[in-house]
């Protein structure tokens, strides 16, 4: 175990190298070291949208809230595109490090950076050209499309590049052991967003432009975050297996490019299908009325808190599993898998208890009942409280789905990840939405998450066991 010791007077301090973190540090400590900054960055990333929703809720305008719910699906698609090169490239880099192939890892990191820039520009162009048709397809009504248009132009059409590039860089930094730097980059943007939101919404811009102000604050925060992460990435590349050189990107081998997309494409599809599922939720909810849509939108933000923590745990687990899978240390790999799953299930159980007890006050934080149409706001909060008590029951099985997917990505099992994504969303969750909504109404729509994710989790566990058995064979 290569631990360097430095003496400063009578004080003896130990510094753990990145290699030790992957190879020999006890799993709970290693997982905590990588997962805690990642959890923070996940929560701060969630703040980007939740802070917007919170301050928009201060207006008491349910139609503004419904509009930001619609745009959330477009924002989540940037996460899917970032996963294409962030998760695909990051997972491959960790496996290459496990094989001590540092030069190849640098070419993969450079290719991932320029690939992320390319898909971000393409996404911005497509949404910009088809803006209104896209918003209408997502369920925008005459009352909400104007607000949705304001938010989408700034955050998606103009802001996709810094958003996607920031998330990609954070993934790459995390997978070479720089989880703290990744967290600081994303967190700084979230903190800035919290400061700028009320400034633009209620001080600098006139009444009626609150959504525009929230979008402008988010755009500037994402630009700042991207700038910091580019700086951190450049500094880390001096010692880590990272590079921003276009020449290195061109040197990536055909095999590594294939291996990157083998994991990156399924990861992007997984997130993309999750986004498609959210689009279906919005369309079905909007068919009831705008207040049901706004209530569901509030819940989809609140429930992301435990989900963000669990995803952070899984992302912290991924490089440990990938490294030890490549180096052949199966015992350490399995211990990391089991520890991460146990931690996630505890978080899920706690979240269920808290949401059952405090559903109404929690959802009430996102919409003022003392401004504009108080009656509509009260109805919206009523819908949201019921939806939250139902949908929070899905948290443990959602954890199983996230955890299994990240395990398969770490082991380079892109095929298993893709199969899981398709079956989870298209075979189980989305069909259950339409069936249960037709039978039980909006409460059935909320319950579809529990049943769909539960079926997906059972299928996921079967896939993971099959993947582990295949390794032994």
Specify the range with the lowest mean pLDDT, choosing from 137-146, 211-220, 307-316, 401-410: 137-146
Closest C-alpha among 275, 278, 253 to residue 78:
275
Higher pLDDT, 239 or 5: 239
Closest C-alpha among 298, 272, 283, 181 to residue 232:
181
- Report the pLDDT value the prediction gives residue 20, as an integer from 0 to 100: 76
Q: Which residue has the tokens 């979230």?
A: 190
Higher pLDDT, 24 or 160: 160
Q: Whole-angstrom Cα distance, residue 321 to residue 428?
A: 28
- Report the pLDDT value the prediction gives residue 282, as an integer from 0 to 100: 83
The percent of residues in the chain predicted with pLDDT above 70, rounded, is: 91
Report the chain's mean pLDDT, rounded to a whole number.
85
Instruction: Please check the confidence at residue 185 and state whether its pLDDT lies above 80.
Output: yes
- Report the pLDDT value the prediction gives residue 373, as an integer from 0 to 100: 64
Higher pLDDT, 249 or 201: 249
Which of 184-218 are b and which e, b meaning 16 or more Cβ less than 10 Å from the residue's Cβ? bbbbbbbbbbbebbbebbeeebeeebbbbbbbbbb
Q: Which residue has the tokens 């059952």?
A: 356
- Report the pLDDT value the prediction gives residue 9, as an integer from 0 to 100: 38
350-353 long-range contacts, CB within 8 A, separation 24+:
350/306, 351/305, 351/306, 351/392, 351/395, 352/392, 352/393, 352/395, 352/396
Instruction: Please check the confidence at residue 1 and state whether its pLDDT lies above 70.
Output: no
Higher pLDDT, 240 or 341: 341
3-state secondary structure of 275: helix
Q: Which helix (H) or strand (E) holds 429?
A: none
Question: Average pLDDT for residues 228-255, to the nearest whole number?
Answer: 89
- Report the pLDDT value the prediction gives residue 369, as an integer from 0 to 100: 63
- Report the pLDDT value the prediction gives residue 8, as an integer from 0 to 100: 41
Runs of H (alpha helix) within 99-205? 102-129, 131-137, 145-152, 160-175, 179-199
Q: How far is CA 262 from the centre of its chain?
A: 20
Specify the range with the lowest mean pLDDT, choosing from 46-50, 141-145, 190-194, 210-214: 46-50
Residue-wise DSSP of 66-98: HHHHHHHHHHHHHHHHHHHHHHHHHHHHHHHHH
- Report the pLDDT value the prediction gives residue 14, as an integer from 0 to 100: 39
Contacts of residue 231, defined as CB under 8 A and 6 or more positions apart, other chains included, come to none
Question: Average pLDDT for residues 9-34, to the nearest whole number?
Answer: 70
Q: What is the pTM of this model?
A: 0.74
Contact 113, 139 (CB under 8 A): no
Model confidence at 292, in pLDDT bands (50, 70, 90)?
confident
Instruction: Please check the confidence at residue 439 and state whether its pLDDT lies above 80.
Output: yes
- Report the pLDDT value the prediction gives residue 13, as an integer from 0 to 100: 37
For the chain, state the CA radius of gyration: 22
Neighbouring C-beta atoms of residue 357, cutoff 10 Å: 11
Neighbouring C-beta atoms of residue 139, cutoff 10 Å: 24
DSSP structure class, residue 295: H
Contact 73, 351 (CB under 8 A): no
- Report the pLDDT value the prediction gives residue 4, as an integer from 0 to 100: 38
Higher pLDDT, 394 or 415: 394
Higher pLDDT, 346 or 4: 346
Model confidence at 273, in pLDDT bands (50, 70, 90)?
confident
Model confidence at 17, in pLDDT bands (50, 70, 90)?
low
3-state secondary structure of 24: coil
Question: Average pLDDT for residues 415-426, to the nearest whole number?
Answer: 89
Closest C-alpha among 167, 180, 210 to residue 34:
180
Convert the pLDDT of each residue in 126-176 to its tens digit.
999 999 898 888 877 787 888 888 889 998 999 999 999 999 999 899 888
Model confidence at 440, in pLDDT bands (50, 70, 90)?
very high
3-state secondary structure of 134: helix
- Report the pLDDT value the prediction gives residue 5, as an integer from 0 to 100: 40
Question: Average pLDDT for residues 89-97, to the nearest whole number?
Answer: 87
- Report the pLDDT value the prediction gives residue 370, as an integer from 0 to 100: 62
- Report the pLDDT value the prediction gives residue 428, as an integer from 0 to 100: 95
Question: Average pLDDT for residues 330-356, to the nearest whole number?
Answer: 94
Instruction: Please check the confidence at residue 371 and state whether its pLDDT lies above 70.
Output: no
Instruction: Please check the confidence at residue 410 and state whether its pLDDT lies above 50.
Output: yes
Instruction: Please check the confidence at residue 384 and state whether its pLDDT lies above 70.
Output: yes
């Amino acid at each position: 175990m290569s631990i360097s010791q430095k003496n400063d007077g009578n004080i003896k301090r130990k510094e753990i190298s990145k290699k030790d973190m992957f190879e020999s540090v006890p799993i709970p400590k290693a997982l905590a070291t990588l997962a805690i900054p990642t959890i923070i960055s996940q929560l701060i990333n969630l703040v980007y949208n939740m802070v917007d929703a919170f301050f928009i809720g201060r207006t008491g305008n349910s139609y503004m809230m419904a509009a930001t719910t619609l745009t959330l699906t477009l924002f989540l698609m940037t996460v899917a595109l970032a996963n294409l090169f962030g998760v695909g490239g990051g997972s491959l880099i960790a496996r290459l490090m496990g094989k001590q192939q540092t030069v190849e890892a640098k070419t993969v990191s450079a290719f991932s950076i320029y690939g992320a820039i390319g898909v971000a520009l393409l996404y911005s162009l497509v949404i910009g050209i088809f803006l209104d048709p896209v918003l209408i397809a997502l369920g925008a009504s005459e009352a909400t499309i104007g607000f949705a248009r304001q938010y989408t132009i700034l955050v998606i059409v103009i802001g996709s590049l810094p958003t996607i590039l920031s998330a990609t860089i954070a993934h790459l930094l995390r997978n070479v052991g720089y989880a703290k730097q990744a967290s600081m980059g994303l967190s700084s943007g979230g903190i800035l967003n919290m400061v700028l939101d009320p400034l633009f919404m209620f001080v600098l811009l006139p009444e009626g432009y609150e959504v525009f102000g929230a979008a402008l604050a988010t755009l500037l925060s994402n630009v700042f975050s991207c700038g910091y992460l580019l700086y951190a990435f450049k500094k880390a590349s001096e010692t880590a297996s990272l590079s921003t050189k276009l020449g290195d990107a061109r040197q990536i081998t055909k095999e590594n490019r294939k291996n990157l997309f083998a994991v990156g494409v399924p990861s992007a599809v997984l997130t993309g299908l999750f986004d498609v599922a959210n689009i279906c939720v919005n369309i079905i909810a909007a068919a009831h009325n705008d207040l049901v849509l706004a209530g569901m939108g509030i819940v989809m933000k609140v429930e992301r808190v435990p989900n963000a923590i669990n995803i952070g745990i899984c992302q912290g687990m991924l490089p440990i599993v990938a490294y030890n899978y490549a180096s052949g240390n199966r015992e350490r790999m399995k211990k990391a898998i089991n520890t991460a799953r146990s931690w996630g299930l505890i978080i899920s159980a706690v979240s269920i208890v808290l949401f059952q007890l405090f559903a109404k006050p929690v959802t009430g934080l996102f919409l003022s009942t003392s401004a504009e149409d108080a009656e509509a706001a009260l109805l919206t909060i009523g819908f949201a409280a019921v939806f939250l008590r139902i949908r929070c029951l899905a948290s443990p099985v959602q954890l199983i789905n996230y955890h299994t997917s990240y395990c398969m990505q770490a082991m380079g099992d892109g095929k298993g990840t893709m199969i899981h994504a398709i079956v989870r969303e298209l075979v189980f969750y989305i069909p259950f939405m339409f069936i249960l909504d037709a039978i039980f109404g909006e409460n059935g729509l909320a319950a579809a998450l529990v049943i769909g994710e539960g079926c997906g989790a059972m299928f996921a566990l079967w896939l993971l066991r099959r993947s582990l058995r295949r390794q032994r064979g």
